[in-house]
Structure 1
Amino acid sequence: MDFERLTLENESEILALLQDVWPRLYGATGCPQFSADYLRWLYGGPDCSRHLLLGCREKGRLVGLKAYLSRDLLLDGQARSASLSTHLTIRPDLDPASRLAIAAELSRLHPLTNDGAHDQRDALLAFFEGNKTLVRNITRMAMQQKLNLVSLPFTQAIVNVRKVNAAAAEFDNVSVRQIQLAGVREMVSRLLSIAPESQLVWCPTNAMRIHHLSQAPGSLVLIAENDQGQVDGLLGGYRMDWLKNGSVTQMFIIESLITSGTATSAKLLAEAAQYSAMQGFRGVVIENSTMIEAADARRLGIMPTQREMILAVRSRLPLPDPIKSFSLDVK
């Protein structure tokens, strides 16, 4: 087995691996339908050289992959460099011993290790399906590795279109429009100053933020303005092609939602729901329920799904505990 660092020049091999393995392993419960556009969005952009894409080959054939995406943070007000681990993929036709060896190497917390092959990071982020046994295993491993660990359970949520439209109709002092991204730096700075504080916030460069907001498949970026013309909210999302039992469903995924209050949230969500309907998408999903206040969620018809998730943060540095909210894409 040979391990190597991959780049987007290996796009066709990476895509073939993901398209082959994920439907076989997760097709009954559902998984993304990976595309070249999706990979270029997620693995590309101005920070592409800071991502760590690890591959494993057997006799030249790509048989394993794990991605560590650059995600610099404000963590309880402190700047931290971080990586988000995702897309662990190993061909199931390998023998069990080989699969275990590949998994062990690809999951070796590379971003926290100073081995000269990549930038060392302060923190490693990962999302897991909610599972008590898995949480115990992660906790035990963190103790063995002498790492600090904080985990945050959360759910994804579905937007009740009828209810959010009714709520939006109550407010006439907020207007919503799609934006040109040239002024996004100043706009986001203002929004972060007025929005409820999250303890963990992704803070990309201006160029990377523009790439992430605008280059996703089916991307939509909305801003809300009050009657004084001030920006009071932002919503960013994209189209997710979801593959389950051989059928593809398109959903609109909201991964950025920064608002100053109920009226702004209602107007932005109603506009996103209208966009989703016009595109023929099946529905609107908020991928991180901690982005919206519980009282607003009830009023606006934001319904938690049964899919429970866990954000795990591991670091050799001290971590705030607990972490109650986050603003970061779920991958």
Structure 2
Amino acid sequence: MRLISLGIALLGAVGSGVTVTGQAGTAGTHPLVGTWRLVSLQRAAPAQPLAPVDNPVGILIHDATGHAIEVVTQAGRPASLNPAEQLQTYEASWGRYTVEASGATATYLIAGDLNPGRKDRRVLRTFQRRDTELVLVENGPDQRPAVRTTWQRIPELEALPAYQEALVGFWRWTGSGMINARGANVRPASRDPSVIVYTPTGHMAVLYLPPPGRQRFASAVPTIDEARAALQGSVSYFGTYIVQPKSRTLFHYQLGAVNPAAVGGSFMRNFDTAGAQVTLVFPPTMLNGEQVRNTLTLERLSGLAEMWPDFRR
């Protein structure tokens, strides 16, 4: 299997407000807005031409207010990969982006990344949109193309259920913990800036990062111990989701995950939305002899109007 050691340092700093400028895309929306699946990946070693990477899969999501999340990995990764190999074949980051007035260059500022050394980095990419195809090119230090990704836009659901609308959007993690029967948080959690995203195409992506303070890798390729420490407590995968409105449950189906053994699996969560907040509740488990439920709270960064500006009920 060919390992990915990409220079894709996508995505950016936490915030809100309209930051996207530039030319209008098809249907009157910005050309980057939407949910995109990876169809081609090329990368180049220093002073070498671009070469294809085998079996690329991934997801790229932009909203109209400048939030983005990207996952790039490979299909068929063996479950036996060690932590360092997992990180070399799976990249995930999120943050904010802006587009120059020319409409051909985007700047991404990383808010969160599985690789702790890429947090707060700023990355410049040129892009071309041709109908439902998006091509992004990132140059290396020598200003030669280092990474070229090609994405296919996934169409929004033709009949998006009304009960699903409230969940669509970028959601930033604000807190979580193990809640017992008395409502006490017996194990509160802390995380670097983290998000989960639900799209109007029926796709989702999540990047929950460990607590602040992770150490940067000593070199471009982490050791097994460095990678294990960086991944400890992280959750990252992408796939599809289904909303069950009567039982207030969500089902996540994993198409790609940092742990290759998790691909093809699914998760169930209870949920509750209240204005700009969503609560996700995991199934019960036992902790120190009592039943608890991991409960996450998230605040809205964007919603259906920002994920699908042309939507009309």
> Normalization by structure 2: what TM-score?
0.31
Q: Which has the higher helix share?
A: 1
- The two structures have a TM-score, normalised by structure 1, of 0.30
Which structure carries more relative contact order (alpha carbon 8 Å, separation 6+)?
Answer: 1
* Structure showing the higher strand proportion among its residues: 2
